[in-house]
Structures are given as structure tokens and as C-alpha cells.
Amino acid sequence: MNKSLKKSLQTVLPIVLGAFVLYFVYRDYDFSRIGEVLLYEVSWDWMALSLLFGILSHVFRGLRWEQTLRPLGEHPPKSNCIDAIFISYAANLIIPRMGELTRCGVLNKADGVNFSKALGTVVTERIIDGACVLLITAVTFLLQMPIFIRFFNETGTKVPSWSHLLSTPWSYVTLFCIIGAAFLLYYIIKVFGLPRKVKALFWGMWKGVLSIGKVDNPPLFVLYTILIWVSYLLHFYLAFFCFDFSADLGILAGLVMFVGGTFAVIVPTPNGAGPWHFAVITMMMLYGISAADAATFALIVHAIQTLLVIILGIWGWLRLSIK
């Protein structure tokens, strides 16, 4: 398979997967409702506050990243690290999971930061963030176990129901999401499993991984990590207050849907489009929100949050270009 075809597939397949799931989820939805909701029902004050925390999550991630680069002898400006984060999230909209490589390349070009060392710090970040996700998931599962059990039952992911995996339409969506995640894992193993060519890359990455033990202010690193995940949660949870039908949902409901959405975006689609909608809509319905209202919430919130990612990506690219 030639390189151009592979690159095309990397871009097209995630879009096709996301489009399939979106079509399935919204095949009976009345899109004429969107304009009225945007004009007369959305509380834009709450939406602005939600978006502020979306921006802060990127800012804190950029500040934390700069802190892990310092022990490696790399000293890019904090503002450049933040701009690189903005660009990386926008890059994920084009090719899912390319953002990690993109931000390392951006700092390499802008400040001469060693690419492999920077990538190593990103690996470390992902390990730490993965641990945070597991911790948040465990706490949320214990607090809202009945809701998760109902979700597993209705999406065909409960272990006893695997023999009837394709017995419900929603199970098809779950299956396609699992297949998509499996292809992503295969691609990562294939790319980074090449012999010889990546020896220097992995050595630099290993140095980057070890940088976590050499940060000059560990409490600040922990604080940044907490602020990143609190900002992520508030970015999603505050969107509840933008709509009358979801304003009464509590923080526990927000945690459940936040966890569900976090795992949904593992599926390689642009900004989790499709699987994220599927997870959020299904969980909102478990809390008594109608299917139409849940679909409206997911569609509007995801679209506005994606627009924010695009705007921040353009902003970061312009700032670095001017510099």
C-alpha cells in the first residue's frame, strides 16, 4: 500500500466510522429543531463559562508539559507549549491521535525541542492521565453503579449478553466502536514496532518518560494534573445548565456521562464524533431525559466544543507563525 493511500485511509476511515455512528444515532432526529433551540433555549452565559474551562484545560496541560520538558534541558516558552497544545487538539480533528506527534513537531520547529524527548514526556502524560481516568471511573462507578449496569445492559456490553451482541440496534454501534478502537491499537503497534528505525526515537522517549521524576516542583505538577481534569469535567458539566431539560441533573450524573464520554473518544473518530454522542445520549436517557432532548444536547454541545478546538488551533498556529 503506497503512502498516499495510507494517509488517505487514515483521514477517511475515522470520518466514515464517525459518520456511520452519527447517522445511526440521528437517523430519526428532527434537525429543524436545532435553530429554535440555539436562538431561544440555549443559555449562552453558561455556555461561555463551560468554554472557558475548556480553554483552561488546554492552558494547564501546556503549563504541565513545559514543566516536564525542563529537566531534559529543553526550555520552550510557556506560551509556545500552550499554543502547541491548541494546535494538537485541532490536528486530532483531521487524523485522530495525531495530536501527540503534532505538538512535539511544533515545538521542534518553533524552539528546537528534541522530538523524541518531547514525545517521551507525552507518553508519561498519557500514563498519568490514564491513571486519572481509571481513578475517576472507579469512584464514579461505585457511586452510580446501577446506572452503569443499566447502560451495559442496554448497549449489549454486559458479559452475559455477549452471546446476543447483535440482538439490538444499539449493540451494532458498540461493536463498530470496539472494532475502530482495535484498528487504532493495531496501527500504533505497527508504526512504533518498526525495528532499527525507531531506536533513537525510543531512547529519547525513555528519557522523556524519566523526566517525571525530575520535575523541579512536584506539588505544582500534581496541581496542574488536578486542574486539567477538574477543567475537563466542568467543561462538560456546566453545559447541563445551558438547557432547561438538563439543568436539574446533578454532579453525579455529570460524572457518569463524563466518564462515558471519555471512554467513547478512545474510538478513532474526529473529536469522538459519533461514539461520544452515542454514549452521552444513552446515559442521559437513563436519567429520564427524552431521546430528542438528549440528542439535541449532544449535537449542540459537541458542535460548539469542536468549534472551540478549531478556533484555538487557528489561534495557536497564528501566534507561532507571527513569532
Give tens-digit pLDDT for 78-93.
999 999 999 999 999 8
Q: What's this model's pTM, rounded to 2 decimal places?
A: 0.81
Mean pLDDT lowest among 58-62, 113-117, 185-189, 219-223: 185-189
- Region 17-24: what's the mean pLDDT? 83
- Region 41-52: what's the mean pLDDT? 96
How much is the pLDDT for 212? Answer: 64
- Region 92-121: what's the mean pLDDT? 89
Domain boundaries along the sequence of the chain: 39-322
CA angle 299, 301, 306 (to 5 degrees): 95
Give tens-digit pLDDT for 129-174.
988 999 999 999 888 888 878 777 766 554 444 444 444 555 555 5
Give tens-digit pLDDT for 201-216.
555 555 555 556 677 8
Model confidence at 123, pLDDT cuts 50, 70, 90, reads: confident
How much is the pLDDT for 225? Answer: 95
